[in-house]
Amino acid sequence: MSTYHPLSEAEAIEIARTLEGVFAPDAKLVSREIGDGNLNLVFHISDPATGRSIIMKQALPYAKVVGESWPLTLDRARIESEALMLEGKLAPGLVPTVYLYDKELALTVMEDLSDHVIMRQGLMNGGRYPQFAEHISTFLAQTLFFTSDLGHNQQEKKLRSAGFINPELCKITEDLIFDHPFTDADTNNFEPAIRDEAEALWNDGALHLEVALLREKFLTHSQALLHGDLHTGSIFITPESTKVIDPEFAYFGPMGFDIGAVIANLLLNFAAREGWDKTAADRDAYRAYLLKTVRDVWTKFEAKFIALWNEHGVDRLAAAAPGYKENYMRRLLQDTVGFAGCKMVRRIVGLAHVADIDKIQDAAVRERAQRLALEIGKTLIKTNRSAFSINQLIDAVETAA
Ligand code: ADP
Ligand code: MG
Ligand code: MG
Ligand code: MG
């Protein structure tokens, strides 16, 4: 293919034509750029005559956020395509199939999932996804266990991790999640109505200690290959199917960071319900559904992870050491709780927000949602080191609401 440049729709069509066995040579292809446009281009290319379609995602060499732009490595397209392929092997059916990766163009060609919806939007609309906890817990258990030292020869793991260093994207996470929200940083982005909340975050030493400990884990604890950005905007869903997309932040880090991302985003939606449900009864019912999903995600993950460990654990001594598995799972829960809290806080006062809350029209309702999300987030951060059960997290959320 050619040297790197952002593709036009016409060029994307020409590349799609060269894919073997996808489109007829004389097909009249249609291309639409459907990305959100901050970091990547996403082309949807289809043949209306046959209904066949594909997605082409191309990394841009910069990130564009609030009018500013900073350089960002194109290598993340490699990381994304390699992570998708590995996840596809470890968790079959739970990610899109990758058809092609082109290094020069930083381009990934993959299965079109347009028959699914982005989960964040699905939740905002009040959708229910009875298979979600089952699917995402399988995704988490399979990808995390088999890339960790528990399920993976440590030499292979070290070699594999060399391909997933991802320093630039890790730096974005480090700054935007573990630093900026807790100080008066220029990148912060919050509504004037909650300035008191932001200032409280900047002046809370006990909170800063917990965030510092979590940041240290994020930077140093190379436990398993993470997705790295597992929010509900990175999940395509239907009642029967779940597909995880967009692992460009993948790197070897603490497992609780991925599990916590899923839970944080369910809880952000929980905090936002007043903006989406017509009656208090509807809101209560949906919140109960979300909390049940949170509980199921953790309990199913825990059961599957331990089952994998029992069957495929590579370190006999550690696996047999009395109390080790319990200790490990407890630490995993604690990390999950702490990272979930950090992810909630950053979505309210930090640079990038979530539509669940920002799209609430009524300013007073939106403000209540923001305050509730912060209350839950701070509680999770502050209690992470004493967490011992998922019910404790659920109780804390119910108390805050
Ligand atoms: P970014 O890294 O820029 O966030 P994403 O991979 O999340 O990019 O994709 C952005 C949007 O493009 C998604 O929200 C979705 O609407 C669309 N998209 C991405 N991948 C696919 C796919 N495989 N099938 C259908 N639409 C997709
Ligand atoms: Mg600002
Ligand atoms: Mg995305
Ligand atoms: Mg992305």
What DSSP string describes 243-263? EE---TT-EEE-THHHHHHHH
Instruction: Confirm if 118 and 232 have CB atoms less than 8 A apart.
Output: yes
39 lines ligand 1 (CB under 6 A): yes
For residue 248 and ligand 1, the question of a CB distance below 6 A is answered with: yes
Locate all alpha helices (DSSP H) within 163-244, ordered by sequence.
167-178, 195-202, 205-220
φ/ψ of residue 161, rounded to 5: -65, -20
Question: How many angstroms separate the Cα of 103 from the Cα of each of 5, 59, 60, 107?
Answer: 12, 10, 13, 7
Ligand 1 pocket mutation, candidates 245, 353, 354, criterion most atoms within 8 A of CB: 245
Ligand number nearest to the C-alpha of 68: 2
246 Cα–ligand 3 center, Å = 5
Helix (H) or strand (E) holding 382: helix 363-383
Query: Tokens 């073997």 correspond to what residue?
Result: 20
Q: Is 103 helix (H, G, I), strand (E, B) or coil?
A: coil
**Ligand with an atom nearest the CA of residue 66:** 2
Q: What is the predicted pLDDT for the residue at 66?
A: 55
Q: Which pLDDT value is given to residue 63? A: 82
Ligand 1 pocket, residue 72 CB under 6 Å: no
Q: Which residue has the tokens 């900073």?
A: 70
- The residues with which 58 forms a beta bridge, in sequence order, are 41, 107
DSSP string of 22-38, one letter each residue: TS-TT---EEEE-S-SS
Count CB-CB contacts under 10 A for residue 379. 18
Q: Is the pLDDT of residue 222 over 60?
A: yes
> Which residue's CA lies nearest to atom 9 of ligand 1?
35
* Three-state SS at 190: coil
Distance between CA atoms of 379 and 167, rounded to whole angstroms? 30
pLDDT score, position 146: 97
Q: What is the mean pLDDT of the chain?
A: 96
Interface ipTM: 0.96
Does the beta carbon of 118 lie inside 6 Å of ligand 1? yes
Question: In 10 A of CB 297, how many CB atoms?
Answer: 23
- Examine the pLDDT at 320 and tell me if it is beyond 90: no
User: Average pLDDT, stretch 222-230?
Assistant: 98
How far, in Å, is the centroid of ligand 3 from the Cα of 8? 20
Please check if 384 is assigned to a binding site. Answer: no
Cα–Cα dist 61/58, whole Å: 10
Distance 277 CA to ligand 3 centre (A): 26
Does 64 score more than 90 pLDDT?
Answer: no
Using a CB cutoff of 5 Å, list residues around ligand 3, an ion.
246
Using 50, 70 and 90 to split pLDDT, how confident is the model at 127?
A: very high
Separation between Cα atoms, residue 146 and residue 214, nearest integer Å: 23
Overall size of the chain counted in residues: 401
CB atoms within 10 A of CB 66: 11
pTM to 2 decimals? 0.97
**Position 301, amino acid:** F
Return the amino acid letter for 390. Answer: I
Domains of the chain, start order: 9-111 (3.30.200.20), 117-400 (3.90.1200.10)
130 is in an annotated binding site: no
Q: What angle do CA 357, 292, 83 make, to 5 degrees?
A: 70
Mutate to test the pocket of ligand 1, among 32, 57, 353 (most ligand atoms within 8 A of CB): 57
* 246 annotated as belonging to a binding site for a ligand: yes
pLDDT digits (tens, 9 = 90+) for 170-196: 999 999 999 999 999 999 999 999 999
What is the torsional sign of CA 273, 279, 280, 284? negative
Q: How far is CA 353 from CA 348, 389, 390, in A?
A: 6, 29, 26
Residue type, 170: C
